[in-house]
Structure 1
Amino acid sequence: MPVANAWQFGVMAATEIVTLRGEAELVRRAGALFDGVRREFLCVAGDPGTWSTAAAASGAPRSPVPGLVVRKLYGPGVFLAPGGRELLDRLAAAGAEIRISPAPPAHEAIVIDRRLAVLAAPRPAAGRARTYSVVQEPDVVAGVRALFETAWETATDLASYRRTPFPRLGGDERAVLRSLAAGHTDETASRLLGMSLRTYRRRVAALMTALDARSRFQAGLRAREILGGLSEA
Structure 2
Amino acid sequence: MVTIRGDLELLARTEHLFSSVQEEFICAARDLSTWSRPGARQTARDLLESGGTRGVRKLFSPAVLADERSREHLREIMGGGVRVRIAATALPHETIVIDRRFAILAGLHAPEGREYTLTTASGLVGSVYALFEAAWETATDLTAFLHGDQPRLDAESRKVLRALGSGATDERAARELGMSLRTYRRRVAELLNALDAGSRFQAGMRAGELGLNG
Among the aligned pairs, what percent are the same residue?
A: 36
The structure showing larger relative contact order (alpha-carbon pairs under 8 Å, at least 6 residues apart) is 2
Corresponding residue SS for 1:60: helix
CA distance in 2, matches of 1:230, 1:158: 23
Structure 2 gaps, min length 5: 153-160, 170-175, 178-185, 197-214
Say which is worse superposed, 48-57 or 129-138, in terms of deviation: 48-57
- More displaced 10-residue stretch of structure 1: 78-87 or 148-157: 78-87
Match of 1:183 among 151, 155, 168: 168
- Call closer, same or farther: CA 1:160–1:120 in 2, change over 3 Å: same
Q: Does the 8 Å CA contact 2:93/2:106 hold for their aligned counterparts?
A: yes
CA RMSD, aligned part only? 3.1
1:92 matched to 2:54: no
Deviations, residues 77-134 of structure 1 (Å, cap 9, x unaligned):
111157311220221011011000122113310000010000001233xx23110111
CA distance in 1, matches of 2:145, 2:188: 16
State whether residues 45 and 51 of structure 1, in contact with CA within 8 Å, keep that contact through their aligned partners in structure 2. Answer: no
- Please report the TM-score for the alignment, with normalisation by the length of structure 2: 0.67
Is the counterpart of residue 61 in structure 1 residue 23 in structure 2?
no
Unaligned runs of 5+ in 1: 1-16, 168-175, 185-216, 219-223
Q: Distance in 1 between matches of 2:117 and 2:91?
A: 17
Q: Which residue of 1 aligns with 2:97?
A: 111
- The 2-side partners of 1:135 and 1:113 are apart by 13
**Aligned CA distance change for structure 1 residues 155 and 161 (closer, same or farther; 3 Å):** same
Cα separation, partners in 2 of 1:76 and 1:225, compared to 1, 3 Å: farther
**Structure 1's 55 and 136: CA in aligned 2 closer, same or farther, altered over 3 A?**
farther
Output the TM-score relative to the length of structure 1: 0.62
* Count of aligned positions: 169
Does 86-95 or 28-37 show the bigger shift? 28-37
Q: CA deviation at 1:72?
A: 0.2
Distance (Å, rounded) in 1 between the aligned partners of 2:107 and 2:68: 22
